[in-house]
Amino acid sequence: GKYLVYNGDLLEYDADHMAQIQRVHAFLMNDCLLVATALPNRRGAYRYDALYPLEGLAVINVKDNPPMKDMFKLLMFPESRIFQAENAKIKKEWLEVLEETKRNRALSEKRRLEQEALPRPAPTPPESTNPFEEEEEEEEEEEEEPSAEEEAVDLSLEWIQELPEDLDVCIAQRDFEGAVDLLDKLNEYLGDKPASQPVKELRAKVDERVRQLTDVLVFELSPDRSLRGGPRATRRAVSQLIRLGQSTKACELFLKNRAAAVHTAIRQLRIEGATLLYIHKLCHVFFTSLLETAREFETDFAGNNGCYSAFVVWARSSMRMFVDAFSKQVFDSKESLSSAAECVKVAKEHCKQLSDIGLDLTFIIHALLVKDIKGALQSYKDIIIEATKHRNSEEMWRRMNLMTPEALGKLREEMKSCGVGSFDQYTGDDCWVNLSYTVVAFTKQTMAFLEEALKLYFPELHMVLLESLVEIILVAVQHVDYSLRCEQDPEKKAFIRQNASFLYETVLPVVEKRFEEGVGKPAKQLQDLRNASRLMRINPESTTSVV
């Protein structure tokens, strides 16, 4: 039943670069198109290249764009090929004969299906003298007739016969909405109609197109595609996958696409010399992407509540990627505690913006940063302890002489910013301060540590911060305790007692109060430390050191 309709030489061009590829000879049969390539060393000889059934073939005219002219495109999912005819007349003949042959093929297929749908005459049974057999035969005929009629009604419309071909054209032209509209129209038309053999055959053809359409939509959402345009660029493919009943796949692919986009955006960020400037840029890029993704997700999957848990898991994974980049720049590079505190503060502020859409990831960023912040606090605590011990080893217990009123005024401002409001009672005439340099330096360093640590504070760090503070304070308290017990000179002993009074009655209450303000609850360990210091002050000759 296969016969040749038309044939001729064509030139094939590359679809992307429009460069000539090869000379071919095309043979149009009544049900397919055969393409053969010319053998270079044998005149008039051809080698088989490809065979395309007419049911899945779409022919598109390519407008002339000199010097490229007399061309037409053949679309066969997932590929397409462009051919050039010898002249405009031959091109027109190819287009007309291809369309005519496809139309004839569709009509012949339609007639075949209609013939199969018609009821076949039952064989004439031998005559019988039994009167009840005739009644049974009539009942059987009555049961069969509606089924045949229903089959004929199901597939009698022309648009149904052309549906597979129309789907091929939609897929080739990337008209995803049109393809899904056709599928919806078919499903609505067939409804609850019985699954006869012709209907099953039609379903098989359509299912193959659905698989092709799904593959194209999946490719549209793959991370290999361009990530420009933000999350909104994925809406078209996502919405059509949802209409095809592939919500789970659409959700998975959408989130993979956005994860790749976020990763690429972070990787392309230029690492600045100033850490805080880089962190500002990092937070802006990441949290803006997260916010846009959340809003687009809510738009695309509004009716699919089951997908929201997948988004939360994705958000946590993305946050881990952000924290890796953040920690590498802030903590691995050994930034100062004040710089690290400022960077964490920026990240927290950006994270709080997500609460506007009902997404609170603050606890996740806390959990991911707690290890690095613990390490930073303990490292800075060790630095303060070593510096305090070094100053203690060189302690001479002498009053400070700031030499100029300007230097004295600056120290007043520094102590005031530390929360020490009664510092004037320890200043004397001619720029003298009735305190030791060691105690003053300890006060400034301890309060600075506390202020920066409170910027980093969250509940998981409570004990780390408290134990670090107690450890730092003990170094100074034990040094004063030891000096009081060992000093024999009455004048120096009185000066040490004055420094001890400043430390116990002024500095420790300020530390305790500021800690309670920053954390929201008092610290029993700091209260116990102050009470122990009070007992030691009452009995300075005691040999029991503060622990």
Per-residue pLDDT tens digits of the chain, which is 547 residues long: 778 889 999 999 987 778 888 899 999 988 889 999 887 777 767 888 888 888 878 888 888 887 788 899 888 877 889 999 999 999 999 999 998 898 888 888 888 777 777 666 555 555 555 555 455 544 444 444 444 444 444 454 567 767 788 888 888 877 888 888 888 887 777 776 666 777 777 778 888 888 888 888 888 887 766 566 667 778 888 888 888 888 888 898 888 888 888 888 888 887 767 888 889 999 999 998 888 888 888 888 887 777 888 888 999 899 999 999 899 888 887 778 888 889 998 998 888 888 877 888 888 888 999 999 999 999 999 999 999 999 988 888 888 888 888 888 898 888 888 888 778 888 877 788 888 999 999 999 999 999 989 988 888 889 999 999 999 999 988 898 888 888 888 888 898 888 988 888 888 899 989 999 888 888 888 878 777 665 555 444 443 444 4
Residues 366-375: contacts with CB within 8 Å, 24+ apart? 366/458, 366/460, 367/460, 368/319, 368/320, 368/323, 369/323, 369/326, 369/327, 369/344, 370/458, 370/460, 370/461, 372/327, 372/330, 372/331, 373/340, 373/344, 373/456, 373/461, 374/461, 374/464, 375/331
Q: What is the pLDDT of residue 145?
A: 46
Q: What's this model's pTM, rounded to 2 decimal places?
A: 0.61
Q: Which residues contact 473 (CB under 8 A, 6 or more apart)?
A: 446, 508, 511, 529
Question: Does a cis peptide bond (omega within 30 degrees of 0) precede residue 198?
Answer: no
Taking the mean position of all CA atoms in its chain, how far away is CA 505?
54
Q: What is the pLDDT of residue 441?
A: 93
Question: Does a cis peptide bond (omega within 30 degrees of 0) precede residue 78?
Answer: yes
Burial class (CB in 10 A: 0-12, 13-18, 19+), 58: buried
- 6-23 in b/e burial notation, b at 16+ Cβ within 10 A? beeebbbbeeeeeeeeee
DSSP code of residue 68: B
CB 167 within 8 A of CB 184: no
State the fold for domain 4-112.
PH-domain like (2.30.29)
| Start-to-end CA span in the chain (Å) | 104
Crossing angle for the helix pair 235-243 and 197-220, nearest 10 degrees?
160
**Residue 119 neighbours by CB distance under 10 Å:** 13
Architecture of domain 254-360: Up-down Bundle (1.20)
Q: What is the pLDDT of residue 151?
A: 43
Closest CA relative to residue 221, chosen from 243, 241, 191: 241
**Residue 255 neighbours by CB distance under 10 Å:** 21
